[in-house]
């Protein structure tokens, strides 16, 4: 057998393993934020969280270690590290989880507080920081019954268990893990699966349960006069809960920071109506709330009700009078006339400018043509003069030639 948990200070972090032990799990509490312990075996060899045999599984948290060992070596063992004085070195051979089952009937939207514990050798394991070494998960698995609303839901991860003193958990590190499960799911038959796991072990708890429709309902009833600003809440319960022990609390949230609490403590009938505060600001409003009651079997319940919405709309504008219509028509006619006048002026200016530009272009072309003609005429005259000059020069040359025959003497 494994020795029972021993005080670390008394044994100077030493313990003995008997030869009959096939496997065990060491649960060690260290100073918060300290390094993982070093395990010294009877033969003097050492194990570290980062270096150890394959038959050893090690989880190191911020304030503790969990070490699983198969076929441990018999003899004296020692742990080196900042182990909390007065803490216990727990040597566990069998580990399981103990989960509080869901009550029945269980209702959609119900806030449920249930507990779970990690059990080692039939004793609850309670060391600070255990929540960092074990991960808890809650799953809801649909049973796929065709008549149920959850027929096509499948598997839903609906929550987890915590031991941190927050939410529904009462005290941190007391070894009691408190579950918070989202039960705002389609109604029908489910299988609950609670899993606690780390690198060393995986433990499961399963149970069938039925998620029933809410026995308490609320809805908003509008006024016949849409502009009255008055709405009404209709509250109803079934015989699954006690009328005298059913109470409501709502919050009405709206424009301009509106946040009004509304409480209904006395239900006088299984169906009753409550007038909401009159609204004066146009816009969207929503109402969220919860109900507390007692089932017919005496179980206290807390149910989150679905959110409700309504809109306070501005009244439509009155139709225009004949005078307003005539004024609008006259204004439109004046606008159209002014637009036509501006268009006419635009086109007149455009045509005149275009004609002016065209005239200028033609004038430039004509003047260039005239200049060219004059230049050609001058050139022709010059060429003619040069031609006449050349002809006169040749004639003078012919006159100067002596055509007489010289004498023989």
- Domains (ranges, CATH) in the chain? 6-93 (2.60.40), 96-212 (2.60.40.10), 216-312 (2.60.40.10)
Give the tokens for residue 390.
Answer: 């050349």
Give the tokens for residue 69.
Answer: 């060992």
Q: Give the whole-angstrom CA distance, residue 10 versus residue 92.
A: 19
Higher pLDDT, 243 or 223: 243
Pairing of strands 155-162, 176-181: antiparallel
Q: What is the pLDDT of residue 270?
A: 95
Name the nearest CA neighbour of 140 among 206, 203, 202.
Answer: 206
**Full 3-state SS string of the chain:** CECCCEEHHHHCCEEEECCCCCEEEEEEEECCCCCCCEEECCCCCEEECCECCCCEEEEECCCEEEEEEECCCCEEEEEECCECCCCEEEEECCEEEEECCCCCCEECCECCEEEEEEEECCEECCCCCHHHCCEEEEEEEECCCCCCCCCCCCEEEEEEEECECCCCCCCECCCEEEEEECCCCCCEEEEEEEEEECCCCEEEEEEEEEEECCCEEEEEEECCCCCCCCEEEEEEECCCECHHHCEEEEEEEECCCEEEEEEECCCCCCEEEEECCCCCCCEEEEEEEEEEEEECCCCEEEEECCCEEEEECCCCCCCCCHHHHHHHHHHHHHHHHHHHHHHHHHHHHHHHHHHHHHHHHHHHHHHHHHHHHHHHHHHHHHHHHHHHHHHHHHHHHHHCCCCCCCCCC
Q: What is the pLDDT of residue 4?
A: 38
**36 has pLDDT over 90:** yes
Give the tokens for residue 96.
Answer: 């399981």
Q: Give the whole-angstrom CA distance, residue 322 versus residue 324.
A: 5
Q: Give the whole-angstrom CA distance, residue 81 versus residue 30.
A: 8
Neighbours of 243 (CB within 10 A): 14
CB neighbour burial string for 306-319, b if at least 16 within 10 angstroms, e if fewer? eebebebeeeeeee
Over residues 310-317, mean pLDDT: 86
The answer to whether 253 and 308 are in contact (CB under 8 A) is no
Over residues 153-174, mean pLDDT: 91
Q: Give the whole-angstrom CA distance, residue 185 versus residue 107.
A: 10
Name the nearest CA neighbour of 186 among 159, 210, 205.
Answer: 210
Q: What is the pLDDT of residue 186?
A: 95
Mean of the per-residue pLDDT values for the chain? 87
Q: Give the whole-angstrom CA distance, residue 100 versus residue 103.
A: 9
What is the per-residue pLDDT across 253-312, written as a single tens digit (0 to 9) for each?
999 899 999 999 988 899 999 999 999 899 999 999 999 999 999 999 999 999 999 999
Give the tokens for residue 98.
Answer: 């103990």
Q: By percentage, how much of the chain surpasses pLDDT 70?
A: 92
Higher pLDDT, 191 or 12: 191
Neighbours of 100 (CB within 10 A): 16
pLDDT band at 2 (very low <50, low <70, confident <90, very high): very low
Q: Give the whole-angstrom CA distance, residue 272 versus residue 233.
A: 8
Q: Give the whole-angstrom CA distance, residue 255 versus residue 252.
A: 10
Output phi, psi for 270, to 5 deg: -65, -20
- Partners of 110 in the beta sheet? 303
Question: What does pTM read for this prediction?
Answer: 0.65
What is the per-residue pLDDT across 119-152, written as a single tens digit (0 to 9) for each?
988 889 888 888 888 999 999 999 999 999 999 9
Q: Give the whole-angstrom CA distance, residue 293 versus residue 255.
A: 32
Name the nearest CA neighbour of 37 among 9, 6, 64, 3.
Answer: 64
């Amino acid at each position: 057998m494994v020795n029972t948990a021993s005080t670390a200070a008394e044994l100077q972090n030493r313990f003995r393993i008997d030869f009959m032990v096939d496997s065990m799990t060491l649960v060690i509490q260290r100073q918060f934020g300290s390094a993982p312990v070093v395990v010294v075996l009877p033969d003097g060899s050492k194990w570290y969280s980062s270096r150890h045999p394959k038959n050893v599984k090690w989880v190191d948290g911020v304030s503790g270690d969990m070490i699983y060992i198969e076929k441990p070596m018999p003899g004296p063992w020692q742990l080196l590290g900042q182990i909390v004085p007065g803490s216990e070195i727990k040597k566990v051979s069998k580990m399981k989880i103990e989960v509080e089952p869901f009550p029945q009937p269980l209702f959609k939207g119900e806030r449920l507080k249930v507990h779970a514990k990690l059990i080692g050798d039939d004793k609850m394991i309670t060391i600070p920081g255990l929540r960092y070494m074990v991960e808890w998960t809650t799953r809801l698995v649909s049973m796929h019954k065709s008549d149920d609303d959850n027929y096509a839901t499948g598997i839903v991860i609906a929550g987890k268990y915590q031991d941190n003193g927050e939410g529904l958990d009462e005290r941190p590190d007391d070894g009691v893990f408190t579950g918070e499960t989202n039960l705002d799911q389609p109604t029908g038959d489910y299988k609950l699966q609670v899993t606690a796991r780390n690198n060393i072990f995986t433990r499961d708890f399963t149970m069938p349960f039925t998620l029933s429709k809410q026995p308490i309902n609320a809805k908003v009833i509008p006024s016949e006069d849409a502009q009255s600003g008055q709405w009404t809440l209709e509250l109803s319960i079934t015989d699954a809960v006690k009328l005298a022990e059913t109470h409501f609390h709502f919050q009405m949230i709206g424009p301009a920071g509106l946040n009004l609490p509304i409480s209904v403590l006395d239900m006088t009938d299984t169906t009753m109506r409550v007038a909401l505060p009159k609204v004066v600001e146009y816009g969207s409003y929503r109402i969220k709330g919860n109900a507390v009651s007692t089932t017919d079997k005496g179980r206290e319940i807390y149910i989150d009700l679905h959110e409700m919405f309504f809109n306070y709309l501005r009244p439509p504008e009155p139709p225009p009078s004949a005078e307003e219509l005539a004024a609008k028509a006259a204004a439109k006619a004046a606008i159209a006339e002014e637009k036509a006048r501006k268009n006419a002026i635009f086109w007149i200016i455009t045509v005149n400018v275009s004609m002016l530009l065209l005239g200028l272009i033609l004038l430039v072309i004509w003047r260039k043509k005239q200049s060219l003609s004059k230049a050609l005429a001058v050139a022709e005259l010059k060429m003619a003069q040069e031609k006449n000059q050349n002809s006169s020069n040749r004639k003078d040359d012919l006159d100067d030639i002596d055509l007489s025959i010289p004498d023989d003497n």
